[in-house]
Structure 1
Amino acid sequence: MPEQTAFPHRRVGLVEDHESVAIGLSVMLKDEPDIELVCIATTVSEMLAQNVSLDLAILDLRLADGSSPKSNVEELRAAGLETLIFTGAENPFLVRSAARAGVLGVVRKSEPTAVVIDAIRAAASGRQVVTTEWAAAIDGDPGLDEVGLSPRQLEVLELYASGEKADRVARLTGLAPQTVNDYLQRIRQKYAAAGRPAPTKTDLYKRAVEDGVLPIPERRNLGRNLTLTNNDLQ
């Protein structure tokens, strides 16, 4: 009989804050001789603190700690770990944010078990995992045009769109109040030029959420967040 080709043994970790999903993935992988799920954590920092040797991090796109996909992927890559996103039906802006940070691919939680396992096996071996959903989120949506904000503009947007007044943003960033206002004007101009106008503070909040600058609010808090920004348009 011809000898069967064995896959190399790979060790993976999961960052996921829903227990049912973590249990489900554990069950999926328990009979795979070449893939070992060696750690589960609810945040990236918690997983890295376990200090275990891994070939791949499997990361949920949205976590309860409010972290952005981009910052999570960057933190994992800084620790020498490649990442596969394991997600439900999500905002394409967040998928694109993770993709820009350098993930190996995106696989949906709704995919058949065999598809999920194949994606994990490929990513754990360092191969790209290209799916239709990922390609569509990155390339197919005309509303995904980047606005090209500088790091300083992103800092101002994050603070202002989260509810801070312009003078408070100035104090937090060490910028002059007029400079903050100039940044905000330029940010609005860039969004308008990209076909994603943001004339009000509420609009800036929405754009910041879309682009992964701010986390998507929990459903129960959504109305409160929008009320805050509507009451603070100056």
Structure 2
Amino acid sequence: MIVDDHVAIAAGVRFWCSQARPPIELIDAEARLANVWTGPGAKADVVILDLELMPKTPAFGELSRLVDHGRRVIVYSQHTDSRTVLKCVNLGALAYLTKTEGQEHLVPAIQAAANGKPYTAPSLGGVLITDDDPGRPRISRREAEVLRAWFASSSKELVAARLNISVKTVDTHIERVRVKYANVGRPARTKSELVTRALHDGLITLDELDE
């Protein structure tokens, strides 16, 4: 379901969704937030939310309410400032896209969100790279390299062979990353939880996972 007060935006997104493989059924809430909670909107897998539904009042409260009720939300907004982007991610949006990021990124973001996975578009990735929010752990380049190799491998032995390091070193890097996430209040006890954290923080992309 899309919640946006610009008819042209909703029409464009509907066309992009119809061209997806498989096609995505889009419901237009016609900028009425109530439609997200009733009728067909209540069963929508993903909510595409425009922040500017009310003049000068970004819908952070509604985003928080949706996330708190287990809804999967993509914020699709004209705002490009880091503060707004990070606030939406921290509130639980699975993706943040600016309205200059069209079909190429919105459709994959919808597909990822439908499976409960985050999506990092270029605008969000740029913000995350320069983010100095203490809520995000500082992962070293080597730690990130080990994580990416581990996510793409069936065993730590394969990671060690690929990177020409010992299995013990692989374990050490992964454990350090877990500790860093735990220290900022975002524990990642399992591999799947760590993948989710890494995707959300832009350490890895869905394309890299697919590869």
User: Could you state the TM-score of these two structures normalised by the residue count of structure 2?
Assistant: 0.54
Matched, 1:70 2:56: no
User: Residue 21 and residue 66 in structure 1: after superposition, are their counterparts in 2 closer, same or farther (change >3 A)?
Assistant: same
Query: Amino acid of the residue matched to residue 22 of structure 1?
Result: A
Shift of 1:70: 2.6
More strand by share: 1
Query: Amino acid of the residue matched to residue 97 of structure 1?
Result: K
1:14-54: per-residue Cα shift (whole Å, max 9, x none)?
A: 11111111111111112333411023231433422445311
Over aligned residues, Cα RMSD in angstroms?
2.5
User: Residue 69 and residue 93 in structure 1: after superposition, are their counterparts in 2 closer, same or farther (change >3 A)?
Assistant: farther
- Tell me if the contact between 1:17 and 1:64 (Cα under 8 Å) persists in the aligned partners: no
Percent of residue pairs identical = 22
- Tell me if the contact between 2:88 and 2:96 (Cα under 8 Å) persists in the aligned partners: no
CA distance in 2, matches of 1:139, 1:43: 34
User: Residue 98 and residue 136 in structure 1: after superposition, are their counterparts in 2 closer, same or farther (change >3 A)?
Assistant: same
Picking from 5, 15, 34, the partner of 1:27 is 15
Query: Amino acid of the residue matched to residue 59 of structure 1?
Result: L
Matched, 1:45 2:9: no
- Tell me if the contact between 2:3 and 2:29 (Cα under 8 Å) persists in the aligned partners: yes
Q: What's 1:94 paired with?
A: 84
CA distance in 2, matches of 1:39, 1:125: 21
Q: What's 1:117 paired with?
A: 107
CA distance in 1, matches of 2:130, 2:65: 28
Shift of 1:88: 2.7
CA distance in 1, matches of 2:99, 2:57: 20
User: Could you state the TM-score of these two structures normalised by the residue count of structure 1?
Assistant: 0.49
Q: What's 2:124 paired with?
A: 134
Q: What's 1:206 paired with?
A: none
- Tell me if the contact between 1:60 and 1:85 (Cα under 8 Å) persists in the aligned partners: yes
User: Residue 65 and residue 41 in structure 1: after superposition, are their counterparts in 2 closer, same or farther (change >3 A)?
Assistant: farther
User: Residue 37 and residue 93 in structure 1: after superposition, are their counterparts in 2 closer, same or farther (change >3 A)?
Assistant: same
Q: What's 1:153 paired with?
A: none
Shift of 1:66: 4.9
Q: What's 1:15 paired with?
A: 3
Q: For residues 1-234 of structure 1, what are the structure 2 equivalents within 5 Å? A: 13-32=1-20, 33-50=22-39, 51-64=41-54, 66-138=56-128, 140-141=130-131
- Tell me if the contact between 1:69 and 1:97 (Cα under 8 Å) persists in the aligned partners: no
Shift of 1:145: 7.7
- Number of residue pairs the alignment of both structures matches: 133
